[in-house]
Amino acid sequence: MIANKLSGMATAGVKALMVSTLALVVSSLHADEVRTADGSVLHGTVEKIYEGKLYLSTPYAGDLVIPQDQVANFSTDEPVAVRLEGGNVAQGPVQPSSGNELQIQTSAGTMTSSMGAVEASWPAGQKDPAVAAREATLENQLRTWAYEASLDISGKAGNSEKTSTSARLQATLEGPSDRLRLYSNFEYSHDGEETTAKEIIGGVNYTNFFTQKWGWYVREELEKDEFEGIDLRSLTGAGVNYRFYNQERFKLEGRSGLSYRYESYDKVPVDQDATPVVYYTPDSEGYVGMDFGLDVYWKFANWGDLQSKWTYTPAFEDFNQYIVQQDTSVNIPLAISDQWKLGIGVSNTYNSQPEGDKENLDTTYFTRLILNWK
């Protein structure tokens, strides 16, 4: 019985080896061929030749990068463009000839060249790798605008416990060494004829990076909140930025600096039964303090990303007087485009010393429809 099992396993192994070998043979019949200086023969697809390297994609060893001086010759099934010394470009299938030379079958006839005279090669109809590299470098050096508009439908607990709707707009001009961000937010909600929230926020933030990680920033934010009785709240901040991580799928950026917060308030009725009604206006206040912030972006999967922004602004005069704000959401692309996203998240504003009988914490749970474009 054991012998039968071993025999069956051996037979299965031989079959698998034969299938793999046959697959390699069939693939080699319909593939480009690269012959190296030591006589080795490699089959696959020649993706390009650029800056002294030949890039070969294979089904059995993945992507290979071979020094051009180690390539004797190569052949292709499909037409390719070949740029030779002097800048001349020939286009057509490539075949090896005697003496390790190349024959390019162009529409005007056969052109012969040595491997050493090839400066670059790429699939016919595509861009010269040198041109593509220059365009990519130029694009990375240019500032580009990106825009975002969103609409929130949310439930709120705290100073306002009503359903609300808010609209957000953001425009960002970003280059390799600086970033300008303009933003605004309008929130409005009501219960019957009674307005329960009416808040407008607008701001600008400029960051300039003098190294890959370090930079400086200035920012200004203005707020008017009728429900909290704030006629104007102004926050001015400046300091240094630091990029802890700046990768395509994960970004972590922090800032630390000085701030000045100014608040002025609307009139508050003291005696509504009096004629005329008696009001008093709270004193305007200004605070010098610190300005801390943290921005997180995490592309945790192809179907979603997490974005989170935190700010903390304590006053120098009394560190028990501060405001903490955070906005965190998980954003999921709609359909097959990243242009439209659905965000689900929570935002908080905590004021350690709110005016009057207002609560310290406002919490907003939201579902956010987001549109991005450039």
Looking at the fold, whether 159 and 175 belong to one and the same domain comes out as yes
Last residue of a domain, one of 113, 138, 163: 138
- Tens of pLDDT, residues 252-292: 999 999 999 898 877 665 555 666 655 556 667 888 999 99
Domain that holds residue 184: 144-373
The CATH number that applies at residue 263 is 2.40.128.130
Count of structural domains, the chain: 2
Same domain, 152 and 227: yes
Is 26 inside any structural domain? Answer: no
Kindly indicate the confidence band of residue 25, based on its pLDDT and cuts at 50, 70 and 90: very low
Q: Are residues 250 and 357 in the same domain?
A: yes
Q: Can you give the three-state secondary structure of the chain, one letter per residue?
A: CHHHHHHHHHHHHHHHHHHHHHHHHHHHHCCEEEEECCCCEEEEEEEEEECCEEEEEECCCEEEEEEHHHEEEEECCCCEEEEECCCCEEEECEEEEHHHEEEEEECCEEEEEEHHHEEEEEECCCCCHHHHHHHHHHHHHCCEEEEEEEEEEEEEECCCCCEEEEEEEEEEEECCCEEEEEEEEEEEEEECCEEEEEEEEEEEEEEEECCCCEEEEEEEEEEEECCCCEEEEEEEEEEEEEEEEECCCEEEEEEEEEEEEEEEECCEEEECCCCCCEEECCCCEEEEEEEEEEEEEEEEECCEEEEEEEEEEEECCCCCCEEEEEEEEEEEEECCEEEEEEEEEEEEEEECCCCCCCCCEEEEEEEEEEEEEC
Residues 165 and 226 in one domain: yes
In a domain, 15, yes or no: no
In a domain, 20, yes or no: no
* The pLDDT of residue 123 is above 70: yes
Query: Using an 8 Å Cβ cutoff, are 175 and 141 in contact?
Result: yes
Q: Are residue 218 and residue 106 in the same domain, yes or no?
A: no
**Is residue 78's pLDDT more than 80?**
yes
What is the model's pTM?
0.59
Question: Is the model's pLDDT at 69 over the cut of 60?
Answer: yes
Q: Final residue of a domain: which of 138, 163, 193? A: 138
Domain end (from 123, 138, 153): 138
Question: Does residue 203 carry a pLDDT above 60?
Answer: yes
10 belongs to a structural domain: no
Q: Could you tell me if residue 339 is inside a domain?
A: yes
CATH number at residue 47: 2.30.30
Task: Please check whether residues 109 and 148 belong to one and the same domain.
Answer: no
**Statement to judge: residues 60 and 81 lie in one domain:** yes
171 closest CA partner among 183, 153, 160: 183
Instruction: Kindly state the percentage of the chain with pLDDT values over 90.
Output: 50
Co-location of 78 and 163 in the same domain: no
CA 8 to chain centre: 53
Which is nearest to 157 in space by CA: 13, 362, 2?
A: 362
